[in-house]
Structure 1
Amino acid sequence: MKRFYIVGFLVLVLFDTLAQISFKQAGDAALPLEFSTAWLLRVFGQPWIYGAFVGYIGAFFTWMSLLKHAPIGPAFAASHLEIISVLALSYWLFNEPIGWPQILGCLCIVAGIMCLAVSESGETDAVTEPQDLKKAA
Structure 2
Amino acid sequence: MKPGWRYYVTGFLVLMAFDTLSQLCFKLAALHAAPFAADGPWLLRVAREPWVYGAIAGYLGAFVTYMSLLRHAPVGPAFAASHLNVVSVLLVSAWLLHERLSLPQSVGAALIVLGILVLARAEQGDDAAAR
TM-score (norm 1): 0.90
Secondary structure in structure 2 of the residue aligned to 1:98: coil
CA RMSD of aligned residues (A): 0.8
2-structure distance, mates of 1:75, 1:28: 32
2-structure distance, mates of 1:29, 1:66: 34
The correspondence of residues 40-119 of structure 1 with structure 2, limited to 5 A, is: 40-119=43-122
1-structure distance, mates of 2:124, 2:17: 25
Instruction: Give structure 2 stretches of 5+ with no counterpart.
Output: none
Larger Rg: 1 or 2? Answer: 1
Q: CA deviation at 1:109?
A: 0.7
Query: What count of residue pairs does the alignment treat as equivalent?
Result: 128
Deviation per CA, 1:72-102: give whole Å up to 9, x if none.
1111111111111111111122211111101
1-structure distance, mates of 2:114, 2:97: 27
- Give the residue type in structure 2 aligned to 1:102: Q
Instruction: Give structure 1 stretches of 5+ with no counterpart.
Output: 129-137
Q: CA deviation at 1:7?
A: 0.8
TM-score (norm 2): 0.94
Q: Percent identity?
A: 53
- Give the residue type in structure 2 aligned to 1:41: L
2-structure distance, mates of 1:92, 1:5: 26
Query: Partner of 2:36 in structure 1?
Result: 33
